[in-house]
Amino acid sequence: MSEVVVYWLQQALNALQLGSIYALIALGYTLVYGILTMINFAHGDVFMVGAFFCFLAATYLGLPFVPTLLLTMLGAALLGVMIERLAYKPLRQAPRVSAIITALGVGIFLENFTLALAPYPKHIPPLLENVTWDLGGVSLSSLQVIIIFLSLGLMFLLDYIVHRTPVGMAMRAISWDKTFVPLMGIPVDLIISVTFAIGAGLAGAAGTMYGLAYPVIDPYMGIMVGWKAFISAVVGGIGNIRGAMIGAFILGGVEIMVTAFFPSTYRDFVAFTLLMILIVVRPYGILGKPRTQKV
Amino acid sequence: MRKALALLLASVLVSLGATAWGAEKTIKLGVVAELTGDMPAVGASCRNAAEMAVKEINAAGGLQIGKEKMKVQLVVEDNAGKADQSAAAAQKLITQDEVLAIVGPNASRYAIPAAEIAESSETVLITPWSTNPKATLDTNTNAPKKYVFRACFIDPFQGGVLAKFALEDLKAKKAAVLYDVASDYNKGIAEVFKTNYEKMGGKVVAFETYTTNDKDFSAQLTKIKDAKPDVVFLPNYYSEVPLQVQQAKRLGINVPFIGSDSWGSNELLTLGGADLNGYYFSTHYAADNAAPAAKKFIADYEKVYGTKPDDVAALTYDAFGLLFGALKSAGKADRDAIRVALSTLPSYQGVTGDMKFQADSRDPIKSAVILQIKDGKFTYFTNATP
């Protein structure tokens, strides 16, 4: 392969890895928004706590990859349910802005709580034997393959749960109407908790994969990544699962390409300008549909 | 409120103590350190060494200033790893705590704003670890500041040392650089390295940037790989270097990596592990090749804190050594007298070597060492002059 082709294939692979990480977090945003029309701004920090759970499981329990991943997802899911029960449920009837402020507050609480316990950046041990394949000059690492396939797999699983299972049907019902759905015998509180558990569990998975790809973690790591995942979800059409994935890959791709062409300081400003233009052209995101208000 | 109350109580207790024992007087010295934020290990080393230096002097009965022996009281402020809070902390120490002099902050991007405050408030500030020339220079005139000193060498020197090391010891003709463009220290030394390296006949084939707190460097590293360098220079802080090296290796970059004194924290070894084995960086002193006077400090520090003092700890200890020396020779506890005494202090034998301030400069003349990371330890490799 010519050197130019190798170079761009390599950059495309980098974009795919970065996009997959954003996607895993974006799925949680989009799920909670899709069901509750609530933007859970604490999601990025749940992702951060997930990375710390991964650190604890891998370092202190000495667990291998799969148990670490499952335990982290479980821990994050429990955290998600706890946050919903303690912070959001009492505000379900309150104005939407109160819930958003509470979410920001929960995020700041998680950051500073973690900071108090772990002021130093932590190192996540390599849980997987990393193999790097050389494909005609393009380096492909086993970690990249796992990250990309895990995020695709979880996306399809989530899509399946929401569209093909009774729980998913209940979720979609709640997203349409919260007043009459309980009359049909659907336990609203339980379904909302399940929604948060799944969303936070995905953030836990993202924390683990992020921790393996970028193994130095700190309490503030969730802020910027969380914002970017949120933006991915909006670009893809918030509330839409496949849209979140597409948005994340677009953002990852734009970021990598901007850095490849320009000085890195241009990255966020060029990337976000492009995304703003995209939103202006398609206000509901790529796969989003305008929500019709039922009267 | 509670903090204010605690301070009030503390000051009442101190003044009670002073009246009870009559003769005993105290002087206050301030420390601004990166206790939280993105480089807490740097702040911790700085505070540990400061507390040790003060404890030692107080255990010896205090500091002889003029005819009196005075106890030293330390006031430590956190700058939270932020430029604005560094300035605010320096301001607080100067106006509220009324310290005689300040040691810290350490990283250049925090030391520079704090130095501005110290200069305008006419209070001596010694930064132990800031190697960026701007810290001790006036922003407008580029003349040396009057009140700001440092205990370390500066980047033009260090960049020269590293350029020479890469060319002569590593025989690397083509170098790539990846640095944090938003941080004064990283940017300064990257540019100096490039200038020196090219002047000495090398070629910088890639000069890539990122922004503080980035975690993904794959796009830049792919560009670096494409440029086929013989060596990669990473003048970045200890929490970022392991990520950069790891990602570079995953992309198949298999050339040596070199770094600057920002690598010198023991945390680098915890975070980087085996990935960094065999690589080199320039720094201020080698714990395993120190002068006899330094050995006592190293042993004492290890006994109290359980780890070998890194360069920040050693330089902070030296900054206090310089300050104590200046106070002794000034003979009075006065901010301006300290400045005069510091700039005329004869050669001072510190943990990090001999140092002396030149008449028209706030930067001491001293030498550098190159360390190699070997089996999870910093090992002395060679002495370096540019």
- The CA-CA-CA angle for residues A146, A148, A151, to 5°, reads 100
Q: Is beta strand B348-350 parallel, antiparallel or unpaired with respect to B353-355?
A: antiparallel
Under 8 Å CB-to-CB from B291, ≥6 apart: which residues? B349, B351, B353
B17 located within any domain = no
pLDDT band at residue B23 under the 50/70/90 scheme? low
B80 located within any domain = yes
pLDDT band at residue B293 under the 50/70/90 scheme? confident
Query: What percent of chain B stands above pLDDT 70?
Result: 94
> Could you give the number of structural domains in chain B?
2
Are residue B258 and residue B213 in the same domain, yes or no?
yes
B279 has pLDDT over 60: yes
Structure ipTM: 0.86
B364 located within any domain = no
Are residue B192 and residue B228 in the same domain, yes or no?
yes
C-beta of residue B127 within 8 angstroms of C-beta of residue B111: yes
B140 has pLDDT over 90: no
Q: Is beta strand B203-210 parallel, antiparallel or unpaired with respect to B257-259?
A: unpaired
pLDDT band at residue B386 under the 50/70/90 scheme? low
Mutation target vs B (from A1, A8, A9, A14; most B CBs, 10 A cutoff): A14
B248 located within any domain = yes
Query: Nearest Cβ partner of A215 from B38, B182, B246?
Result: B246
Are residue B343 and residue B253 in the same domain, yes or no?
no
Averaged pLDDT of chain B: 89
B14 has pLDDT over 60: no
Q: How many helices (H) and strands (E) does chain B have?
A: 12, 15
Predicted local distance difference test score (pLDDT) of residue B37:
84
Are residue B139 and residue B159 in the same domain, yes or no?
no
φ, ψ of residue A267 in degrees (nearest 5) = -55, -60
Q: Determine what percent of chain A falls in helix, strand and coil, rounding each to the nearest 5.
A: 75, 5, 20
Are residue B111 and residue B185 in the same domain, yes or no?
no
pLDDT band at residue B289 under the 50/70/90 scheme? confident
Query: Nearest Cβ partner of A123 from B225, B247, B271?
Result: B271
Averaged pLDDT of chain A: 90
CB–CB of A11 and B182 under 8 A? no
CB–CB of B219 and A255 under 8 A? yes
C-beta of residue A197 within 8 angstroms of C-beta of residue A77: yes
Under 8 Å CB-to-CB from A114, ≥6 apart: which residues? A48, A49, A52, A219
Predicted local distance difference test score (pLDDT) of residue B343:
87
Under 8 Å CB-to-CB from A66, ≥6 apart: which residues? none
Are residue B267 and residue B166 in the same domain, yes or no?
yes
CA distances for A263 relative to A12, A229, A257, A276, B221, angstroms: 18, 23, 11, 21, 13
Give me the mean pLDDT over the A101-105 stretch.
93
Please check whether residue B310 touches A, CB under 8 A. no
Query: Nearest Cβ partner of A263 from B209, B225, B250?
Result: B209
pLDDT band at residue A64 under the 50/70/90 scheme? very high
Are residue B275 and residue B294 in the same domain, yes or no?
no
CB–CB of B214 and A264 under 8 A? yes
Predicted local distance difference test score (pLDDT) of residue B184:
86
B54 has pLDDT over 90: yes
B123 has pLDDT over 90: yes
Residue B231: CATH number of its domain: 3.40.50.2300
pLDDT band at residue B20 under the 50/70/90 scheme? very low
Give me the mean pLDDT over the A177-191 stretch.
87
CB–CB of A139 and B251 under 8 A? yes
pLDDT, greater one: B316 or B17: B316
pLDDT band at residue B18 under the 50/70/90 scheme? very low
- What is the C-alpha separation between A139 and B243, in angstroms, rounded? 17
Are residue B77 and residue B107 in the same domain, yes or no?
yes
Query: Nearest Cβ partner of A224 from B182, B213, B239?
Result: B213
B32 has pLDDT over 70: yes
Chain B residues closer than 8 Å to A11 by CB: 219, 222
pLDDT band at residue B212 under the 50/70/90 scheme? confident
B382 has pLDDT over 80: yes
B7 has pLDDT over 70: no
Predicted local distance difference test score (pLDDT) of residue A45:
96
Chain B residues closer than 8 Å to A142 by CB: none
Are residue B258 and residue B373 in the same domain, yes or no?
yes
Q: Which two tokens stand for residue B24?
A: 């005993």
C-beta of residue B251 within 8 angstroms of C-beta of residue B280: no
Q: Which chain B residue lies closest to A259 (C-alpha atoms)?
A: B219
B143 located within any domain = yes
Structural domain boundaries, residue B55: 26-153+290-355
- What is the C-alpha separation between A246 and A271, in angstroms, rounded? 15
CB–CB of A18 and B270 under 8 A? no
B13 located within any domain = no
B120 located within any domain = yes
CB–CB of B271 and A216 under 8 A? yes
Domain boundaries along the sequence of chain A: 23-221
Q: Give the pLDDT confidence of B214-233 residue by residue, as tens digits.
A: 899 999 999 999 999 999 99
